Chain A
Amino acid sequence: MDIDTNLKREVAELINWETTLLDRREWDDWIDLFAEDAVYWVPSWVDEEHTVTDPETQLNLMYFQNRGGIEDRVFRIESRDSYASLPLDRTVHIVSNILVAGVDDEEISATANCLVHSFGKQGGQTRASLYDFKFRKNDAGLKIILKKITLIDDKLEGPVDVYHL
């Protein structure tokens, strides 16, 4: 399949923009990138080599069935009342390997890798993730309808929130 170069550029731009908004703490603009019905999913590991595959019957680190889940997280961060989020860890996301995997009439899917360096009270640490995105295209452009983050680290040190992912 030949994927339109403009579309590839648009997808890469959006993924880079998404993590940039997290690092720059532009929470409302970040939420706006997601469709109302967007799923946000961080599976847990079912054994050393496999993550869970069915969020309905298995335990996840996060599984939000619509955008309300990330709105909750932003509410909590902005409340300044969360012990784990005050002071807020500093983060830098480095995204690479962005590939558009498939395009059909309604959906575009893409994968990427992400390293997140964060710094907080206990010092700095780096975690890595595989990203799986799905987007919906309409006249206004692309909206995220799925962000699945496979956090390859286990034995997690310190809190993990949406800006760490």
Chain B
Amino acid sequence: MDGSFQKSGLEALVDDRVDEGVFRVDRSIYTDQDIFEAEIERIFEKGWVYLCHESQVPEVNCYFATDIGRHPVVVVRQKDDSLSAFINVCSHRGALLTPKKQGKAATLTCRFHGWSYSCDGRCVRIKNEKEGFGEDGFDRSQYDLNPISKLASYRGFIFGSLVDDVEPIEEYLGAAATWIDLMVEQSPEGLEVVPGSSTYVIRGNWKMQLENSVDGYHVSTVHRVFASTVRNREERESLKGLKQTEGGRLVGIVPSGAYDLGNGHMSIWAQHTTPERRPIFKKKEWLEANLPAAHVEWILEKGRNLALFPNVMLMDNPSTQIRYVKPISADRAEVTVYCIAPVGEGAEARSARLRKFEDFYLTAGMATSDDMAALEDTMAGSFASQAQWSDFNRGLKTMTHGADEGAKAVGFDPVSSSESWENETLFFGFYRRWRDMMSASD
């Protein structure tokens, strides 16, 4: 594409002709830097994005620094326990305010010329103010921090928007809210992010990370080796703590499904062959006493991956994960993974959860590393403009419009349901949301 991005070209990039049996995207949406810049402006800076989990700002004055598009943003816990979020940039000459990613400070003091801001964003001190700005009538409040336009928490997951004109958070999440509920309601004391994290760079487009996290179709090829490694481990019986992992899910022989949840959100699930090996199974009795039977079944027996448009993925499988993606350029993104777990979980279950996480989910693990390699190959291939289309037609003929029985049982209402996680119809919703936001009038 020449010059700057043209909205009028968008219809041609998302070839949405489901009636004719076609849904495909032009691979330039992964490679074109002008499109990328437009995504930052029209998607990340004009709608809800995920910021952090409430356990990452546990006490008054705790902060967590992240980004919305090109804007550094800091989420701060206020004196009354509420949350605020500001552009994390000094009003004077623009230095970043927080020295660290996460911390605690009663005031944020800029380390360049020493201006200070209270945790509610007021500019409370300007170094040598009188000498520089005179004695009378100087109004420091003109230098207060810029709050972001919208901040909302859904059951502990915190989202923000740089613009006012967004739907209420419940409406934005829509059917995806039930998938968050299924994670949160496992723990009466709530969830917490476990200390430690890993950030890795993918040499690929950020949308490919979203796609990969809810692509069940690659599992029986890319993760075949994970399954065979685990089988080999179990045969060796040399690892007491780790030997009980899930093999069956990974070879494509279990019931599964996929949902286009609407608003760009997507999800997949697959039946656990051995649910009793999951850390949460220790709480079976509590779950049965406190939750509807259909929820208990979904929680205990279905491994679930949820991708929330545009930048976060929540996984509840043998281990549990928040995966956050930060777009850097068309062909680069930073991904940070956190383990999220029930507060007050027993030591044995917590340790098992961590070991399963490390086994699978990290770039130093035995599955995510293979995902990354496949993703980076897909990126390399996407530059071939004479092989233009990425195809998402699998399952198009068999999909159910609206909810299937499983969705009805727990009460969420997807745009479409698919009876196999190998089907690709869930991506329709992602790319329709993408197209709609990219072509919205200003």
Interface bits B219-233 vs A (CB < 8 Å: 1, else 0)? 000101110110011
CA distance A66 to B237 in the complex (A): 12
CA distance A67 to B237 in the complex (A): 12
On whether A57 and B351 interact (CB within 8 A), knowing A47-B101, A75-B229, A155-B199, the answer reads yes
- Chain A CB within 8 A of B127 CB: no
Chain A residue nearest in CB terms to B243: A68
Residue contact B195 to A67, C-beta cutoff 8 Å: no
Interface size class of A (residues with CB under 8 A): 35 or more
Residue among A43, A46, A157, A161 facing the most chain B CB atoms (10 A cut-off): A157
> Which one of A9-17, A19-27, A79-87 is at the interface?
A79-87
- Chain B CB within 8 A of A42 CB: yes
CA distance A27 to B293 in the complex (A): 49
Residue contact A156 to B200, C-beta cutoff 8 Å: yes
A55 to chain B, nearest CB (A): 8
CA distance A145 to B347 in the complex (A): 24
- Chain A CB within 8 A of B366 CB: yes
Interface bits B356-394 vs A (CB < 8 Å: 1, else 0)? 011000111110011111101100000000000000000
Contact of B197 among A44, A73, A157 (CB under 8 A): A44
Residue contact A59 to B197, C-beta cutoff 8 Å: yes
Residue contact B200 to A56, C-beta cutoff 8 Å: no
Residue contact B355 to A82, C-beta cutoff 8 Å: no
CA distance A158 to B362 in the complex (A): 11
- Chain B CB within 8 A of A61 CB: yes
Residue contact B364 to A61, C-beta cutoff 8 Å: yes
Q: Report A38-64 residues with CB < 8 Å from chain B CB.
A: 42-48, 52, 55-63
**Which residues does chain A contribute within 8 Å of B194, judged by CB atoms?**
57-59
B320 to chain A, nearest CB (A): 12
Chain B residue nearest in CB terms to A69: B239
Residue contact A72 to B233, C-beta cutoff 8 Å: yes
Interface size class of B (residues with CB under 8 A): 35 or more
- Chain B CB within 8 A of A126 CB: no
Chain A residue nearest in CB terms to B231: A75
**Which residues does chain B contribute within 8 Å of A69, judged by CB atoms?**
239, 242
Interface bits A64-98 vs B (CB < 8 Å: 1, else 0)? 01111101110110010111100000000000000
**Which residues does chain B contribute within 8 Å of A155, judged by CB atoms?**
199-201, 334
Residue contact A68 to B358, C-beta cutoff 8 Å: no
CA distance A67 to B354 in the complex (A): 18
- Chain A CB within 8 A of B236 CB: yes
Residue among B347, B364, B365, B373 facing the most chain A CB atoms (10 A cut-off): B364
- Chain A CB within 8 A of B296 CB: no
Contact of A121 among B100, B226, B376 (CB under 8 A): B376
B346 to chain A, nearest CB (A): 11
B273 to chain A, nearest CB (A): 20
A125 to chain B, nearest CB (A): 11
CA distance A82 to B338 in the complex (A): 24
Residue contact A79 to B229, C-beta cutoff 8 Å: yes
**Which residues does chain B contribute within 8 Å of A159, judged by CB atoms?**
363-364, 369-370, 372-373
**Which residues does chain B contribute within 8 Å of A157, judged by CB atoms?**
200-201, 203
Residue contact A68 to B233, C-beta cutoff 8 Å: yes
**Which residues does chain B contribute within 8 Å of A36, judged by CB atoms?**
238
**Which residues does chain A contribute within 8 Å of B232, judged by CB atoms?**
72, 75
**Which residues does chain A contribute within 8 Å of B372, judged by CB atoms?**
84, 158-159
- Chain B CB within 8 A of A122 CB: yes
Contact of B102 among A47, A63, A71 (CB under 8 A): A47
A60 to chain B, nearest CB (A): 6
**Which residues does chain A contribute within 8 Å of B6, judged by CB atoms?**
none
CA distance A52 to B197 in the complex (A): 9
Residue contact B364 to A59, C-beta cutoff 8 Å: no
Contact of A83 among B236, B362, B363, B374 (CB under 8 A): B374
Residue contact A52 to B195, C-beta cutoff 8 Å: yes
Interface bits B72-89 vs A (CB < 8 Å: 1, else 0)? 000000000000000000
B380 to chain A, nearest CB (A): 8
Chain B residue nearest in CB terms to A63: B358
**Which residues does chain A contribute within 8 Å of B292, judged by CB atoms?**
none
**Which residues does chain B contribute within 8 Å of A99, judged by CB atoms?**
none
Residue contact B376 to A59, C-beta cutoff 8 Å: no
A91 to chain B, nearest CB (A): 15
CA distance A61 to B222 in the complex (A): 21
Residue contact B350 to A82, C-beta cutoff 8 Å: no
- Chain B CB within 8 A of A106 CB: no
**Which residues does chain B contribute within 8 Å of A55, judged by CB atoms?**
354
- Chain B CB within 8 A of A154 CB: yes
- Chain A CB within 8 A of B241 CB: yes
A51 to chain B, nearest CB (A): 8
Residues of A within 8 A of B (CB): 36, 42-48, 52, 55-63, 65-69, 71-73, 75-76, 79, 81-84, 121-122, 154-161
Apart from A68-B236, A75-B232: 13 A-B pairs, beta carbons within 8 A: A45-B197, A47-B102, A56-B350, A57-B347, A59-B194, A59-B196, A68-B239, A76-B226, A81-B224, A83-B377, A156-B198, A159-B370, A161-B364
28 pairs, CB–CB < 8 Å, chain A vs chain B? A36-B238, A42-B364, A44-B198, A47-B101, A56-B354, A57-B347, A58-B194, A58-B195, A63-B354, A63-B355, A68-B239, A76-B226, A81-B228, A83-B371, A83-B377, A84-B369, A154-B198, A155-B199, A156-B201, A156-B364, A157-B200, A158-B203, A158-B363, A159-B363, A159-B364, A159-B369, A159-B372, A159-B373
Chain A to chain B: the 9 pairs with minimum beta-carbon distance, closest first: A59-B196, A159-B369, A68-B238, A68-B239, A44-B196, A84-B373, A81-B225, A160-B364, A84-B369
